[in-house]
């Protein structure tokens, strides 16, 4: 195929559908960093330091947003091509270190030809002008359409359906969001406000994170929202974002957050970020999500009369716990997911026990009964089976939740409560604002226990069958059919 002129290519891109259009780059190929569960996710050769993402919302949650994503990075290996994860939007132009660059696409990668070869260890600045399309199926994540706008649900591998980047939790970075929307709407994002500018009938809202964040934890909300402010421990700013019409109805739940923050700080130490709050989306999502500094919940979770009070509060604790386990300390690979969900389920269960739910021991005994079946269905906690084709969220199975909390219960039984509490506090302190592996956790546990726990962890994290529960020789697991 002959090379196209830049002018002709721009014309073709402007009229393309909301899929990436191949430019002059020959034979682009997707890359990945070799994650066992998502082999084409993430990209080698560079480390992202910061994202600056501008979205322009045109008042409809079915129309593409105009966007500019700026990436400040540093090369870690020589590069002629730069792969970015990006799968849902039209790309109008790319610049690398201020120079126009050719680009193409393959599957879920945007492949950029560097204007000149880049050695390792040099600055890499990428600007992508693109659209961000919210009209895709909600089953595969990215933008979530609400009754009055949009929110984000990027876990596990959906951030690149919103903006181009290095979409793997091992490459955390600082974020700046600039959201332009009609003046009647409110835009909120992860981090703290950094300015608001009105121009004509639109307002541009700017937010910045003070701590690095994984792409899957990014959050932007646009809608007819009210932002409620209160104060948490140590003067922490707490802000909740709710549909304006539901402010009074939701307040009895939202006012519990400062006390919940205090409870979690008693368990593991000081809250790790600059702000916290709850984002309530008027959308029929069937999940909650620990987006950094602003946890996402569907409105019906708080308004459904059938949910017991203790249950609602314990799920709020689950997402809050993730701010330590999963957000501040992020998984180095998706096989380390048990560290996120196991800890969140652990503190959820402990909070429920203290606030009207069943006892922790009863919940763990029930989990033990089911554990062998969970392992047969989805693999052991630290070596889970991959998600089903076309069902990425199937990775989030019972073995990741109570099946992994059960590992922590067994560990506390094995090393004692004092050593376990010290392990939890040390873990989130040592690995704050970084990523960590299962091996890091087991190594730290052995050090704090003062003995080698390799055999214990081999069985509990990787075994086909659930090992005997320390201290409970009478517990039994139902064998899978």
List pLDDT tens digits, range 271-286. 999 999 999 999 989 8
**Sign of the alpha-carbon torsion through 143, 251, 262, 175:** positive
3-state secondary structure of 111: strand
Q: Output the pLDDT for position 360.
A: 98
Confidence of residue 6 (pLDDT cuts 50, 70, 90): very low
Can you say whether residue 235 is alpha, beta or left, with left for phi > 0 and alpha for psi between -120 and 50 degrees? left
- Provide the pairing of β-strand 186-189 with 174-182: unpaired
Residue 15 pLDDT more than 70?
no
Given a contact cutoff of 8 angstroms between Cβ atoms, the answer to whether 317 and 347 are in contact is: yes
Average of per-residue pLDDT across 467-471: 97
**C-alpha dihedral over 86, 167, 396, 281, to 10 degrees?**
-70
Given a contact cutoff of 8 angstroms between Cβ atoms, the answer to whether 46 and 82 are in contact is: yes
Q: Output the pLDDT for position 19.
A: 41
Preceding omega of 156 cis (within 30 degrees of 0): yes
- Pairwise CA distance, residues 449 & 432, whole Å: 21
- In what helix (H) or strand (E) does residue 114 lie, and over which residues does it extend? strand 109-118
Residue 310: exposure state from Cβ atoms within 10 A (0-12, 13-18, ≥19): middle
- Pairwise CA distance, residues 262 & 276, whole Å: 12
Specify which residues 52 forms β-bridges with. Answer: 70, 176
Query: Distance from CA of residue 434 to its chain's centroid?
Result: 14
Average pLDDT, the chain: 93
- Pairwise CA distance, residues 467 & 470, whole Å: 9
- Pairwise CA distance, residues 89 & 146, whole Å: 20
Q: Which two tokens stand for residue 29?
A: 């190929």
Confidence of residue 139 (pLDDT cuts 50, 70, 90): low
> 373-420: per-residue pLDDT in tens?
999 999 999 999 998 877 777 899 999 999 999 999 999 999 999 999
Query: Distance from CA of residue 135 to its chain's centroid?
Result: 21
């Amino acid at each position: 195929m002959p090379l196209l002129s830049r002018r002709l290519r721009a014309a073709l891109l402007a009229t393309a559908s909301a899929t990436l259009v191949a430019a002059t780059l020959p034979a682009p190929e997707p890359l990945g960093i070799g994650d066992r569960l998502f082999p084409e996710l993430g990209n080698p050769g560079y480390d992202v330091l910061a994202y600056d993402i501008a979205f322009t919302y045109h008042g409809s949650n079915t129309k593409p947003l105009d966007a500019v994503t700026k990436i400040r990075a540093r090369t870690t290996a020589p590069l002629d091509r730069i792969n970015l994860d990006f799968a849902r939007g039209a790309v109008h132009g790319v610049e690398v270190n201020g120079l126009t660059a050719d680009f193409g696409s393959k599957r879920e990668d945007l492949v950029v030809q560097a204007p000149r070869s880049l050695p390792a260890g040099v600055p890499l600045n990428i600007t992508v002008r693109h659209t961000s399309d919210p009209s895709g199926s909600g089953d595969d994540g990215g933008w979530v359409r609400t009754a009055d706008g949009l929110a984000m649900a990027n876990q596990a591998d959906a951030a690149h359906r919103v903006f181009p980047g290095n979409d793997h939790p091992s490459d955390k970075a600082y974020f700046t969001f600039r959201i332009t929307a009609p003046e009647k709407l409110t835009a909120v994002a992860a981090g703290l406000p950094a300015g608001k500018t009105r121009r004509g009938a639109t307002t541009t809202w700017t937010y910045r994170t003070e701590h690095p964040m994984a792409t899957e934890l990014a959050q932007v909300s646009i809608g007819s929202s009210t932002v409620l402010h209160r104060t948490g421990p140590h003067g922490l700013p707490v802000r909740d974002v709710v549909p304006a019409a539901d402010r009074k109805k939701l307040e009895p739940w939202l006012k519990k957050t400062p006390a919940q923050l205090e409870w979690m700080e008693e368990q593991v130490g000081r809250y790790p970020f600059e702000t916290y709050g709850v984002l309530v989306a008027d959308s029929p999502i069937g999940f909650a999500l620990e987006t950094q500094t602003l946890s996402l919940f569907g409105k019906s979770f708080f308004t459904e009369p059938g949910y017991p009070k203790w249950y609602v509060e314990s799920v709020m604790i689950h997402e809050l716990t993730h701010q330590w386990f999963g957000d501040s300390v992020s998984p180095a690979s998706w096989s380390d997911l048990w560290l996120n969900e196991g800890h969140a389920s652990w503190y959820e269960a402990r909070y429920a026990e203290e606030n009207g739910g069943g006892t922790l021991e009863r919940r763990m005994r029930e989990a033990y009964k089911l554990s062998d079946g969970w392992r047969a269905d989805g693999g052991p906690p630290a070596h889970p089976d991959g998600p089903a084709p076309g069902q990425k969220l199937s990775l989030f199975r019972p073995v990741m939740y109570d099946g992994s909390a059960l590992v922590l219960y067994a560990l506390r039984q094995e090393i004692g409560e004092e050593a376990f509490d010290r392990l939890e506090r040390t873990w989130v302190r040592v690995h704050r604002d970084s990523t960590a592996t299962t091996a890091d956790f087991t190594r730290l546990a052995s050090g704090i226990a003062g003995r080698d726990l390799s055999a214990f962890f081999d069985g509990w994290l990787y075994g086909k069958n659930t090992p005997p529960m320390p201290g409970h020789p009478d517990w039994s697991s139902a064998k899978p059919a």
